[in-house]
Amino acid sequence: MPRARGPVLQTPEKHAARAAALWLMTGVLEDGISLADLLSRGSGPMTTLVPEDRARAQRLATETLRHLRTCDQMLGPHLRLAPRLFVHNALRLATYEIMGTGAASHGVVNAAVDLVRAAQPDSKAPGLVNAVLRNIARRDPAEWQAATPASLPKPFRKPLVAAWGGKIVTAMEAVQVHVPPLDLTLKAQEDAATWAETLGARVLPGGSLRLPAGQQVSALPGYAEGAWWVQDAAAALPARLLAAQSSERVLDMCAAPGGKTLQLAATGAKVTALDISEARMRRVSENLARTRLAAKPIVEDALNYTPPMLFDAILLDAPCSASGTVRRHPDLPYLRDLSDLADITALQARLFDRAVGLLRPGGRLVFATCSLMPEEGEAQAATALTRHANLRAWDLEPKCAEMDLPAEWVTDGGALRLRPDHWAEIGGVDGFFIAGFTKAS
């Protein structure tokens, strides 16, 4: 795994959270490592922080990356040339703090200068940072509010425009610039009204609960007793559409981190949770323990897995570009190349074929990807039908009507297509493609 090369800073303790945020940004923008991978490591400056500073560092890095191109627009008039990446990131972080959060400019400027001086003590960079940020501090905060949501990086945006058109992609960007709300899935869906009142949440079509952003999840009622788990409303739909029954043998084929496994287990079905990653499967086991639900975790490559019996129902949420999750993972546009998806779509096809082989005649298969790219969704489902004459595709419109989901989300082929700009007025939703199939008897 690549190493995050951010400078080892000898900075005052009061700057520790900002220093860690810069380390995270460097890991993403220079080393191409996701925030999730950086945060899961047992090394680096994040490990030395108290929980409050760790949360602050993560929030600063995440939100600066979310607004990175807007920060660059603000900095542009004050920079003749782009400085070295670490200095540039320090400027971006400080610009977000001053313009995006309204933090007192004096403290932010001094912190940025101290951080850069610690990293580059013999350069002119600290003076540059001081001069540029004092200019930023003089600007009207209304400029930030009035700024048009910055577009996604061109290599990420161009394939999306080719797929959806510029108008729709601009609508997606307008949603993705905001911190997404918090969605929860209940263990007992019949208690939705009670939990909505307890948590101050709204019940979404489909059954998820939605709370405002900024919640401390572990402090919410119901967390400790496992009454619910965090899961985007779109990610909860594949398991709901599969509609597992208590008497069925069900396979969650690429299970980690486990939200869908929990949904399937909550039906009382005999659930096998399969994933190739031992580390990610530990999270599945932890979530099963917290929610007091039962499933059989197996760490194995799904392409090589041979069960003792065929399954009644299979959920395949296949590995993909994750391009639909940018609103929750603003580092992704700087890590993913959507112009060449040949390897990942080939893997999806192999996993699909394996799923069909593991399904009993008359059994049900739901295929899903959290991608906005048609080759990982609509095209993948269409070509699968040409390979498997014994499969029948579902028309999901009646099921969507039962859940009060908009009919226009159903594709011409009867599948479900969600985009981040759907439900934009209440915070949007992850991009997802979901299709259902029955294997002929």
- Which residues are annotated as catalytic? 370
Displacement of CA 141 from its chain's centroid (Å): 29
Distances (CA, A) of 298 to 134, 275, 392: 56, 7, 29
> Kind of pairing, strands 249-252 and 311-317?
parallel
Which residue from 130, 134, 220 is spatially nearest to 182, judged by alpha carbons?
220
d(CA 132, CA 139): 11
For residue 257, is the peptide bond before it cis, meaning its omega torsion is within 30 degrees of 0?
yes
The per-residue DSSP string of 399-411 comes to: HHHHTT--GGGB-
CB 174: neighbour CB atoms within 10 A?
A: 15
Distances (CA, A) of 402 to 102, 186, 232, 397, 423: 45, 18, 20, 9, 18
Reading across the β-sheet that carries 202-203, which strands appear in turn? Answer: 202-203, 209-211, 182-186, 228-230
d(CA 216, CA 219): 6
d(CA 365, CA 437): 5
Helix (H) or strand (E) holding 384: helix 378-387
Residue 437, helix vs strand vs coil = strand
d(CA 411, CA 44): 46
d(CA 107, CA 114): 11
Q: Is 418 exposed, middle or buried (0-12, 13-18, 19+ CB in 10 A)?
A: buried
> Kind of pairing, strands 249-252 and 270-275?
parallel
Q: Is 215 exposed, middle or buried (0-12, 13-18, 19+ CB in 10 A)?
A: middle
> Kind of pairing, strands 359-369 and 311-317?
parallel
Give the side-chain half-sphere CA count within 13 A for 231: 27
Q: Is 396 exposed, middle or buried (0-12, 13-18, 19+ CB in 10 A)?
A: buried
